[in-house]
Amino acid sequence: MKTAEDILVILQNRLPDIELALESGESGQPWIKVPADNIKDVSKILRDDEELRFDTLMCLSGLHYPAEEELGVAYHIHSTSLKHTLALKVRVPAEDPVIPSIEMIWKTADWHEREAYDMVGIRFSDHPDLRRILCPDDWEGFPLRKDYTPQEFYHGVSTGE
Amino acid sequence: MIEAITDTGERREMTINMGPQHPSTHGVLRLELVLDGEVIKDVKPHIGYLHRCFEKYAEEMDDYAKVIPYTDRMDYVAAMNQEHGYIIGVERLLELEVPERVEYIRVIMAELQRIASHLLGIGAFGLDLGAFTPFLYLFTEREKILDIFEKASGARLLYNYMAVAGLMRDVHPEFKEEVADFVKTFRPKIKELDDLLSYNKIFIRRTANIGVVPDKVALNYAASGPVLRGSGVKWDLRKNDPYSIYDRFDFEIPVGSGEMGTLGDCWDRYIVRVREMEQSLRIIEQALDGMPDEGDVMAAIPKRIRPKAGDIYVRTESPRGELGYYIVSDKSASPFRVKARAPSFVHLSMLPAISKGALIADMVAIVGSIDIVLGEVDR
């Protein structure tokens, strides 16, 4: 079982050119901040490295940070064989939110990424089927953005707004 | 592989919709099936029919505690477990101590709920495959659990019973006696279920070797709960990442073994649920023994919840698998973000990978065996 600090050291040894940082809030769990372009490389090492073996992506959450005008994704992964868990975070500017998909590393990311696209509008490049998942395909806007205002009509039917 | 022959002798594919209103989809789920005769070539699940914006509502509440009733409405057949997961998340953010008596009552409630949920899951699974009788037997037992819940919380389905660092109200005076009574009368019923359904030849023919999930696939799709254990992976959060007071209890983790066919088939997932009910009874018995008789269950409930800035991912073992809550606090009174990681959502995404080559009738068995609740899939 490794802590986030140990894992960061291993990642930095394996990927010296990538800027990784361990961050934490005043309470809760720490996370490793990963530049958007490198998330795929980092994930691959996390999954395949003998010392890490993160075989499962537990959760992938899309977030909107209105103060910084950024969107973000939080990845929570764990290893069933080595029993450790880790949180990763990626932030991208809200006007061009593109993050590489990690569907080919952990298959479960497929639907989670579709949900993050549907709810906060992050576009995952190389995703095999990036469509809305909970809302109808022709819904307008991204409901979990903090500045979201629902449309008044959907196909001529009032939404009650 | 069976090939469909048309009048002209050409092969032909057909797309049909199963659902959104189909009795075996357990709610409103639409499966777009690409068929070659009876054989499924591809399946595309379409979800969202029950989307009620849980996460958006959670952000708009002006109090963390006000989110609790909304969690009930996600997996509405296991509402106690939904509340349990969420309040543990809030308690960890606040670094709160939970009174002993509260912990014990919560565990008893959570395990009773697991049994109630499995009874519904198993009953409906049998029903989908044409076994009508077990469903009625199982519902009689589930009713007894709901009666206990009703006396304790006032509700039969959506309880709003657990509170941050406490409970909404104390249990009724006969609680211990009633639960002990249930444990005693329910145990022989599991044997009855085995005779009625588990080892029924027709049932085995309908479920063995169907919808096989290899362990590698299960892990890559982040399967959890009975679906993962059905594939032979011994993984249960109550043991592997203990929360609440689960580390105090002695119980086994039942896993599938390919007893009737292939490891990870529908029958394996089914039998894991049956065996889990026995283990839940063991936990309940131990919890009844350990539960303190005195203690105010409402004393520690905080008047005002203002966690420090930070975020936490909490996972608990719901009857369907890993129920995760990712809660982000920005120091204000309302959560900045609450994301619910629902096991049914994850398991449903696995459907295309495990049902290619199956027959339409087997699709009913596969969907039943992963035991989805659409309220939780769509949130």
Mean pLDDT of chain B: 88
Query: Residue B254: inside a domain, yes or no?
Result: yes
Task: Give the pLDDT confidence of B24-58 residue by residue, as tens digits.
Answer: 667 788 888 888 888 898 899 999 888 988 999 99
Contact across the interface for B56 and A27, Cβ inside 8 Å: no
Task: Give the pLDDT confidence of A13-62 residue by residue, as tens digits.
Answer: 888 888 888 888 888 888 999 998 889 988 998 888 888 889 889 999 99
Tell me, what's the pLDDT at B25?
67
Structure-token pair, residue B7 = 């009048």
Tell me, what's the pLDDT at B82?
92
Nearest by CB to residue B222, choosing from A25, A57, A132, is A57
Query: Residue B6: inside a domain, yes or no?
Result: no
Going by pLDDT thresholds of 50, 70 and 90, the confidence category of residue B122 is: very high
Nearest CA in chain A to B343: A58
| In contact, B341 and A57? CB cutoff 8 Å | no
CATH of the domain at B51: 1.10.645.10
Nearest CA in chain A to B337: A63
Distance CA B243, CA B339 (A): 19
Query: Residue B1: inside a domain, yes or no?
Result: no
Three-state helix/strand/coil letters over chain A = CCCHHHHHHHHHHHCCCCCCEEECCCEECCEEECCHHHHHHHHHHHHHCCCCCCCEEEEEEEEEECCCCEEEEEEEEECCCCCCEEEEEEEEECCCCEEECCCCCCCCHHHHHHHHHHHHCCEEECCCCCCCCCCCCCCCCCCCCCCCCCCCEECCEECCC
Q: Give the domain extent around B37.
A: 20-378
Structure-token pair, residue A134 = 């909970």
Distance CA A47, CA A49 (A): 6
Phi, psi of A12 (to 5 degrees): -65, -35
Tell me, what's the pLDDT at A151?
86
What radius of gyration, in Å, describes the C-alpha atoms of chain A? 17
Query: Is pLDDT at B343 greater than 90 in this prediction?
Result: yes
Task: Give the pLDDT confidence of A125-161 residue by residue, as tens digits.
Answer: 989 999 999 998 888 889 999 888 888 888 888 888 7
Three-state helix/strand/coil letters over A119-150 = HHCCEEECCCCCCCCCCCCCCCCCCCCCCCCC
Task: Give the pLDDT confidence of B66-111 residue by residue, as tens digits.
Answer: 999 999 999 889 999 999 999 999 998 888 888 989 999 999 999 9
Cα–Cα distance list, B24 to A115, A133, B55, B204, B356 (Å): 25, 21, 28, 18, 18
Domain count, chain B: 1
Query: Residue B14: inside a domain, yes or no?
Result: no
Q: Which residues of B touch A31 (CB under 8 A)?
A: 311
Contact across the interface for A28 and B353, Cβ inside 8 Å: no
| In contact, A108 and A123? CB cutoff 8 Å | no
A141 CB within 8 Å of a chain B CB: no
Q: Which residues of B touch A61 (CB under 8 A)?
A: 326, 337, 339, 341
Q: Is B33 helix (H, G, I), strand (E, B) or coil?
A: strand
Q: What count of CB pairs under 8 Å joins A to B? A: 104
Nearest by CB to residue B313, choosing from A55, A87, A133, is A87
Mean local confidence (pLDDT), A84-88: 90
State the smallest CA–CA distance between residue A112 and chain B in angstroms.
8
**Domain positions in chain A:** 4-133
Q: Which residues of A touch B43 (CB under 8 A)?
A: none
Nearest by CB to residue A28, choosing from B59, B311, B349, is B311
Task: Give the pLDDT confidence of B170-224 residue by residue, as tens digits.
Answer: 888 899 999 999 999 999 999 989 988 889 898 999 898 888 999 888 988 999 9
Distance CA B264, CA B216 (A): 11
Q: Which residues of A touch B232 (CB under 8 A)?
A: none
Tell me, what's the pLDDT at B16?
87
| In contact, A58 and A18? CB cutoff 8 Å | no
DSSP assignment letter at B241: S
Going by pLDDT thresholds of 50, 70 and 90, the confidence category of residue B7 is: low
Contact across the interface for B324 and A87, Cβ inside 8 Å: no
Q: What angle do CA A141, A113, B238 make, to 5 degrees?
A: 125
Tell me, what's the pLDDT at B1?
45
Architecture of the structural domain at A4-133: 2-Layer Sandwich (3.30)
Query: Is pLDDT at A120 greater than 50 in this prediction?
Result: yes
A48 CB within 8 Å of a chain B CB: no
A87 CB within 8 Å of a chain B CB: yes
Going by pLDDT thresholds of 50, 70 and 90, the confidence category of residue B13 is: confident
β-pair partners for A158: A153
Nearest CA in chain A to B376: A134
Task: Give the pLDDT confidence of B217-271 residue by residue, as tens digits.
Answer: 898 899 999 999 999 999 899 988 888 899 999 999 999 888 888 888 999 999 9
Mean local confidence (pLDDT), A117-125: 92
The residue whose two tokens read 């795929």 is: A40
Chain B contacts to A (CB-CB under 8 A)? 47-48, 51, 53, 55-56, 59, 92-95, 217, 219-222, 233, 235, 240-241, 307-313, 315, 322, 324, 326, 328-329, 337, 339, 341, 345-346, 348-350, 353, 378-379
Q: Is B225 left (phi over 0), alpha (psi -120 to 50) or beta?
A: left
Nearest by CB to residue B220, choosing from A76, A83, A107, is A107
